[in-house]
Structure 1
Amino acid sequence: MAFDWSQFYEKQGGRGVRPTYESALAAWDGPAGTAVDLGCGDGVETRDLAERGWRVLAVDSDPSVDERVRAGLDPSAGERVTTRCAPFEEVGELPQADLVYAGFALPFCDPTRFPYLWADIRDAIEPGGLFAGELFGPHDEWFGRPGMNFHDRAGVEAMLTGLEVLRLVEDDRRGMSFEGPKQWHVFHIVARA
């Protein structure tokens, strides 16, 4: 199934930063560093990072990623943002980063490509740096959709081996999505390299 990302971003208009992102920033005890925002979507977290002084690579497959991310961004903060329009399968090598953030994005990576993307994410995180993002579990209503990947708790914990897990919250409940009501099964993760 192909998602209409433009429609999704329109429905997300005006949202604040996500709680997993906030948890990552609360765990960061250094000065503003470098970040990668994978599947940056509407750019809320990218803009917040840039305004806080971080240098950010914002990656999204939507062709209007640059325009969307820079909308309303202070010019000096805008100089700290680089955008890359690419699907996960074509992202290529990620730069070294103090934070890799992937808010509700990684489940939309093709399952055959996901292990390579996850290895690239792990390699990109500087010692002491953070990963923050979400993965979907097998109880999620979208389980089995083509082009998406899902992980049970044991699989998520195995993926985090060698990282200091600062937050691992499993959310398995009914809720709303941009398509309407659905069963969510989400792992919210913050981990330090």
Structure 2
Amino acid sequence: MTPTFDWDAYYAAMAGREPRKNLLAALEHWGERQPGEAVDLGAGDGLESRELASRGWRVTAIDGDSGLRARLDGVEGVTPERRDFAHISELPASDLVFAGFSLPFCPPSHFDALWGAIRTCLRPGGLLAVEFFGVRDKWAGTPGMTFHTHNDVERMLWGLETLLLDEDEREGRSFDGPKHWHVFHVIARCPESDAPR
């Protein structure tokens, strides 16, 4: 069972933040190509979905939080969907899949199905911008969350062109206090041919 977090308190604490750096870096890799279809997994407060839509992307924003639809109500180009990660086995065909610090909240028993859906939905030339929590993260071992080693991450990226694999381990803060972070920031591209299907 996924642990209970006070997401409303988190969104309040994060009010006024900038879009995630990993998303902005992925958009730099996208370059001048025409915006396409994007999936924002764990869309949360909706900031990244709004950022993508403002740049011309058509976004499917997915989150298990019942407040997602209200937060994205009326945002042109964004389709909010309330879906729990534990029940995702298929995603719409996408040119960009973004998951900012959300994938670790998928229970281990469902992670492979979710990752398979992510890999399968990515179109040739499409980009993946995600974060994984490492096994030395303070929250490692929390029931209902998934953590990875460096080798795990490399294995999951097999067949993709890895544009960024940054292992970040440091003392810092979460919204509720001090935290030891162990995070993998990843950007990868699906090859133009021989895309996983």
TM-score range, shorter chain: over 0.9
Q: What is the deviation of 1:92?
A: 4.2
State the 4+ residue runs in structure 1 displaced beyond 4 angstroms.
none
User: Over residues 67-126 of structure 1, what are the superposed CA-to-partner deviations in whole Å (9 max), with x where a residue is unaligned?
Assistant: 1134xxxx6xx2311001111012342000000000000000000000110000000100
Q: How many residues align?
A: 187
Q: What is the deviation of 1:4?
A: 1.0
1:46 aligns with 2:49: yes
Residue identity in the other structure for 1:26: E
User: Over residues 132-168 of structure 1, what are the superposed CA-to-partner deviations in whole Å (9 max), with x where a residue is unaligned?
Assistant: 0100001100000011000000110010000000011
1:34-183 alignment runs, 5 A limit: 34-70=37-73, 78-183=75-180
Residue 141 of structure 1: SS of its match in structure 2?
Answer: coil
Residue identity in the other structure for 1:122: R
Q: Conserved in 1, the CA contact under 8 Å of 2:39 and 2:96?
A: yes
1:11 aligns with 2:8: no
Q: Conserved in 2, the CA contact under 8 Å of 1:89 and 1:109?
A: yes
Could you tell me which runs of 5 or more consecutive residues in structure 2 were left unpaired when the two chains were aligned: 191-197
Q: Conserved in 1, the CA contact under 8 Å of 2:88 and 2:117?
A: no
Q: Conserved in 1, the CA contact under 8 Å of 2:41 and 2:61?
A: yes
Residue 180 of structure 2: SS of its match in structure 1?
Answer: strand
What's the TM-score once normalised by structure 1's chain length?
0.94
Alpha-carbon separation, structure 2, partners of 1:28 and 1:138: 31
Could you tell me which runs of 5 or more consecutive residues in structure 1 were left unpaired when the two chains were aligned: none
Q: Conserved in 1, the CA contact under 8 Å of 2:170 and 2:180?
A: yes
